[in-house]
């Protein structure tokens, strides 16, 4: 009874603390028509302290979504256009010589902001992409012999175009595994596209977005997300899903054994749990259910499963693996 009462009290706190997300979504909707699922995934990453890889063809408002999100959340925003001639110092900063006092000092790069838009991240080679590794994992940057903490909150939202391969570089596995989610940005519906066209024709300019959040709201929400209850059976369910990507045959999925070359890492289990907690927070609940796990399973796992040659030859996608695993693993 005491445990149930505690969850009920936590639920009330969550309902009160999550109101700022409704205000933020209202502001974002004034500029972005549709793409609500993408916006919700960005909210989840913010609450869970993760990063997102946004994949979609040009013209789907990926950049505008990130810029609008940062404006509504009152967070410092920095857009970095990745190009083939970039250097790691163009991201993190470098040591600059001051002839006046004959000493070097660290000049911080554009990475020192709350929301980083890594636009077309696969346009730069691995040495530039890997400059994000320390920032994404440790939330700090080392320049020369000095280490500097990044502002809190800190999140990277990277975009890439799935249909263009000329002049692009595949993201290293160590890099892509640090993204909590890979979100596919799809085309708008007919009515949404009609609304987009009418909005552009009526105003001619992008509507202003009013900041409705402060840093205290985000910090308080994150503390509540940490307190969300997770039943041990749901914990085992998460691990079952992740382990099934590595050893499908042991989980009754022998048909996938030759299709998957490498499964998801333990980081997938951690991110699946954190994202499920944040999803429950968006639903104003003090506990997570298997449905929360299923809701974010595709985004959390799709970039961590490496298909084998047979799957690529048959044009089988990682989402197909996840769908079969979700259907087969017993739900508690």
Long-range contacts of 35-43 (CB under 8 A, 24+ apart): 35/60, 35/61, 35/65, 35/185, 35/188, 38/65, 38/183, 38/185, 39/65, 39/69, 40/282, 41/181, 41/183, 41/296, 41/299, 42/66, 42/69, 42/157, 43/278, 43/282
User: Which pLDDT score is estimated for 165?
Assistant: 67
Cα separation, 155 vs 87, whole angstroms: 21
User: Which pLDDT score is estimated for 291?
Assistant: 94
What average pLDDT does range 2-8 have in this prediction?
71
294 or 105, greater pLDDT: 294
User: Which pLDDT score is estimated for 204?
Assistant: 63
| pLDDT tens-digit map of 55-74 | 988 888 888 899 999 999 99
User: Which pLDDT score is estimated for 2?
Assistant: 40
What average pLDDT does range 306-327 have in this prediction?
84
Contacts of 207 (CB under 8 A, 6+ apart): 30, 31, 199
Among 217, 207, 211, residue whose Cα is nearest residue 72: 211
Question: What's the pLDDT band for 195 if we cut at 50, 70, 90?
Answer: confident
pTM of the model: 0.89
162 or 29, greater pLDDT: 29
Comma-separated ranges of CATH 1.10.8.80 domains in the chain = 229-328
- Whether residue 190 has pLDDT greater than 80: yes
Does residue 235 sit in helix, strand or coil?
Answer: helix
Comma-separated ranges of CATH 3.40.50.300 domains in the chain = 2-203+210-215
| pLDDT tens-digit map of 28-54 | 988 888 889 999 999 999 999 999 999
Q: Quote the DSSP letter at residue 121.
A: G
| pLDDT tens-digit map of 220-260 | 999 999 999 999 999 999 999 999 998 888 878 888 878 88
Question: What's the pLDDT band for 205 if we cut at 50, 70, 90?
Answer: low
Cα separation, 124 vs 129, whole angstroms: 7
> CATH classification of 229-328 is 1.10.10.10, yes or no?
no
CATH class of residue range 2-203+210-215: alpha beta
User: Which pLDDT score is estimated for 203?
Assistant: 64
% of the chain surpassing 70 pLDDT:
97
- Whether residue 1 has pLDDT greater than 60: no
- Whether residue 162 has pLDDT greater than 90: no
| pLDDT tens-digit map of 273-300 | 999 999 999 999 999 999 999 999 999 9
Question: What's the pLDDT band for 7 if we cut at 50, 70, 90?
Answer: confident
% of the chain surpassing 90 pLDDT:
36
């Amino acid at each position: 009874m005491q445990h149930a009462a505690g969850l009920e009290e936590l639920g009330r706190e969550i309902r009160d603390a999550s109101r700022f997300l409704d205000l933020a979504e209202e502001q974002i909707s004034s500029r972005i028509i549709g793409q609500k699922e993408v916006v919700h995934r960005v909210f989840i990453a913010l609450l869970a302290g993760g990063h997102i890889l946004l994949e979609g063809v040009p013209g789907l408002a990926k950049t505008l979504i990130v810029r609008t999100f940062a404006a509504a959340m009152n967070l410092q925003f920095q857009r970095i256009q990745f190009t083939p001639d970039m250097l790691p110092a163009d991201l993190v900063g470098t040591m600059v010589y001051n002839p006046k006092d004959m000493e070097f000092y660290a000049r911080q790069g554009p990475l020192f902001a709350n929301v980083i838009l890594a636009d077309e991240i696969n346009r730069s080679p691995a040495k530039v992409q890997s400059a994000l590794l320390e920032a994404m994992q440790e939330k700090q940057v080392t320049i020369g012999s000095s280490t500097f903490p990044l502002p809190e909150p800190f999140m990277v939202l990277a975009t890439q175009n799935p249909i263009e391969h000329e002049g692009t570089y595949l993201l290293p596995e160590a890099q892509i595994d640090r993204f909590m989610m890979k979100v596919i940005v799809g085309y708008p519906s007919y009515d949404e596209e009609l609304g987009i066209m009418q909005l552009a024709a009526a105003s001619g300019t992008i509507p202003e977005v009013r900041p409705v959040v402060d840093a205290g709201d985000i910090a308080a929400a994150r503390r509540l997300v940490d307190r969300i209850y997770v039943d041990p059976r749901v914990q085992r369910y998460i691990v079952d899903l992740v382990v099934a990507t590595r050893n499908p045959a042991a989980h009754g999925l022998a048909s996938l054994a030759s299709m998957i070359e490498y499964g998801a890492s333990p980081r997938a289990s951690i991110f699946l749990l954190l994202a499920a907690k944040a999803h429950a927070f968006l639903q104003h609940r003090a506990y997570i259910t298997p449905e929360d796990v299923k809701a974010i399973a595709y985004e959390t796992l799709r970039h961590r499963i490496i298909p084998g040659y047979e799957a690529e030859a048959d044009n089988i996608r990682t989402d197909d693996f996840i769908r079969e695993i979700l259907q087969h693993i017993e739900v508690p």
